[in-house]
Amino acid sequence: MELVAKISKGSTMDQIYIPKNRHGLSTGSYVLIKPLETNPQPITYHFYHVSDLEPLKRQLMDQLIAIINRFISSYDNVIFTGSFLEPGFSFNDIDVLLITEHKVPITLLKRHVLHDLHIDLDLLILDSKTLLRGLATDPLYHLMLSKCVTKKRFLYHAKKDMDYKLLDLHLLQSKAMFNNFDILTGNQKYALTRNMTAIALFLEDKKITKETINKAITQTFHLKSISLLQQNILEKQSFLKIYKTTYNSLFQIILRGIQHGSQ
C-alpha cells in the first residue's frame, strides 16, 4: 500500500498526517519515507542587462534554488549577480542576494551548495527595507545590481538619498592606492579605482554600470583601454597625480555634504 502525504511543520517536530481509515500500515508499523518523484515546472528567470546564460549556468541556478527551497520556507526574491553572469566560466563562486525577512542558516546553506554543486556560494541576506535603503544611498548597490538575473521580477525603486558619511567610508577604501601602489596588483588597482569612480558617478547622478565606470576611468586617466589598468601597465607618476586630484576633489564634495548635514 502507498499513500501520498505532505510534511507539515510542527512546533517541536515536523509530521506527516495519513487517514485513519486505511488498509494496511497499522499503528506501530515501520514505514519508509522518501520524496515523491515529480517533474517540477522550469523556473522562468528575469534578465536585467544580461543577454543570455550558458545552459550549465541555468542548471546551476535551478539546483541552487532547489537547495534554498529545502532550507527556507519563504523569501521575497533570489538575485544572481557578479562574475557568474559574465560570458564564459572564469567565475570562482556564485554571488547571490537572498531577499527575505526570515532567519537563514547561512553556514548550513553554503555547506550544502559546496557539497552538492562543488562551488562556493557568496551569499548576502537582505530584507526589502535594507535593499531599498542601499539603492537609495550606496553606489555599490547600483553597481552590484546593474547586471542581474532574478527569480521574481525586480520591482525595487528607491529615491536617491545622499548619505555623505557612508560615501566617506567607501571613499576611504580607495585611499589605499596612495601608499601601496607598488605592491598592488592590476586587479586590486582596478577595484580601488572602480570604487572611487562609482562614487563620482553617484554624486553626479549618473548611471552606474560596469560599462559606464570603465568608460569614465579610461577618460579620466587617459587610458586607451581599461585592460592597461587591470594588467598593471601604468605610468606611476601620471596615474597617481590624476588619482590624487580626483580623490581630493571627491573628498571635498563629501566633506561639504557632511558639514552641511550637521548644521
Residue pair 241/259 in contact by the 8 Å Cβ criterion:
no
Asked whether the predicted pLDDT for residue 263 surpasses 50, the reply is: no
Cell 569614465 belongs to which residue? Answer: 216
Q: The domain 46-150: what is its CATH number? A: 3.30.460
pLDDT digits (tens, 9 = 90+) for 43-94: 899 999 998 899 999 999 999 999 999 888 889 999 999 999 998 888 889 9
Look at residue 1 in the predicted model and tell me its pLDDT. Answer: 61
- Report the candidate in 110, 77, 80 with the shortest Cα–Cα distance to residue 95: 80
pLDDT digits (tens, 9 = 90+) for 143-181: 999 999 999 998 777 888 999 999 999 999 999 999 999
Instruction: Report the pLDDT averaged over residues 110-119.
Output: 92
- To the nearest whole number, what is the mean pLDDT of the chain? 90
Strand partners of residue 95: 81, 122
Instruction: Report the pLDDT averaged over residues 186-206.
Output: 96
- Report the candidate in 116, 85, 125 with the shortest Cα–Cα distance to residue 210: 85
Residue 139 grid cell: 553606489
> Where is average pLDDT lowest: 2-16, 166-180, 183-197, 203-217?
2-16
- Report the candidate in 120, 122, 124, 152 with the shortest Cα–Cα distance to residue 138: 124
Sign of CA dihedral 163, 164, 166, 170: positive
List strands edge to edge, sheet with 46-48: 46-48, 148-150, 77-81, 93-99, 120-126
Residue pair 200/216 in contact by the 8 Å Cβ criterion:
yes
Instruction: Report the pLDDT averaged over residues 131-142.
Output: 94
Residue-range domain boundaries for the chain? 46-150, 164-262
